Amino acid sequence: MRLIPPAYVKPFVKRQKNDAADAEAICETATRPTMRFVLVKSEETQGAAMVFRIRELLIRQRTQAINALRGHLGEFGQIVPQGAANAARLIAIVEDPESGLPADAVATLHVLVSALRHLETEIDALDAEITRRAKENEVARRLAAWLGLTPRQHSTGGKQRLGATTRMGECSLRRLLIIGANSIIVKRHVHAAARPGTWLGGMLTRKPPMLVRLALANKMARIVWALMARGGVYQSPTAAA
């Protein structure tokens, strides 16, 4: 069995789209000598990846609960800054008998508070599970995707035209790499990888911060691929003298 990305099949669909045209396009695509196929995942691999998708779903639900709680409290003049870090302040207002909230509103808001606490507990449990799996996995221990972190090309006639990031590939890994790159950019004043003389330090002086985030995430993805494909242990580069 071979899996083909739909984006690679679409160029071979002739005129109208129907079952016969789709089948013909799939057959034509599969015969291309340079075609790239998707690896078939085992049930174990799919099960291991499920923890990340469930965690993302719970995080989205937590964000919805926080936004709803913040919005409802704002109607009563209780203004709290945005962000998950301020969830505790929202809960404290609901549970404070001196907050001045109507009794009927407090009873309803407690439903959101209970849901938010439950989500926090489940997310913490999944974080612990991810940490446990990472410690037990030899490759994960050495690493610390190949993902669509490269610019879209529209080049012709020998002229290179690079556009926005393609965003093709595994979106979950891409987001995690960008978040990791962002943490380094935010702490660039104390992070060794961003010191003057390093590749990242030079990029930060020449390029916009968002572009540097994507470039760093791209570099991290290539390092991940190299370590997974060739083995070895990552050696952090040193600053130029």
| 54, 32: one domain | no
Please report whether residue 237 resides in a domain.
Answer: no
| 54, 120: one domain | yes
Please report whether residue 235 resides in a domain.
Answer: no
Q: Read off the pLDDT of residues 215-238 as tens digits, 9 standing for 90 and up.
A: 888 888 888 777 777 777 766 665
Contact 63, 84 (CB under 8 A): yes
- Angle (nearest 5°) at CA 92 between 89 and 97: 145
| 127, 181: one domain | no
**DSSP-assigned letters across all residues of 63-128:** HHHHHHHHHHHHTTT----SSGGGHHHHHHHHH-TTS---HHHHHHHHHHHHHHHHHHHHHHHHHH
**Residue 75 belongs to what domain range?**
43-136
| 128, 213: one domain | no
| 1, 61: one domain | no
Which has more confidence, 168 or 214?
Answer: 214
| 63, 11: one domain | no
| 80, 109: one domain | yes
| 109, 72: one domain | yes
When divided into structural domains, the chain yields a total of 3
Percentage of residues of the chain with pLDDT beyond 90: 24
Which has more confidence, 46 or 232?
Answer: 46
Q: Is the pLDDT of residue 25 over 50?
A: yes
DSSP character for 165? E
| 23, 94: one domain | no
Q: Is the pLDDT of residue 139 over 80?
A: no
Contact 14, 24 (CB under 8 A): yes
The structure tokens listed for 53 are 């998708």
| 53, 114: one domain | yes
Average pLDDT of the residues in 25-33: 91
Q: Read off the pLDDT of residues 171-229 as tens digits, 9 standing for 90 and up.
A: 777 778 888 888 888 777 777 777 777 888 888 888 888 888 888 888 888 887 777 77
Please report whether residue 221 resides in a domain.
Answer: yes
Average pLDDT of the residues in 134-150: 63
Q: Read off the pLDDT of residues 74-105 as tens digits, 9 standing for 90 and up.
A: 998 888 888 888 889 999 999 988 888 888 88
pLDDT of residue 167: 61
Please report whether residue 239 resides in a domain.
Answer: no
Q: Is the pLDDT of residue 148 over 70?
A: no
Please report whether residue 75 resides in a domain.
Answer: yes
| 63, 96: one domain | yes
| 22, 53: one domain | no
SS (H, E, C) 25-65: HHHHHHCCCCCCCECCCCHHHHHHHHHHHHHHHHHHHHHHH
Residue-averaged pLDDT of the chain: 82
pLDDT of residue 145: 40
Average pLDDT of the residues in 126-145: 75
Q: Is the pLDDT of residue 239 over 60?
A: no
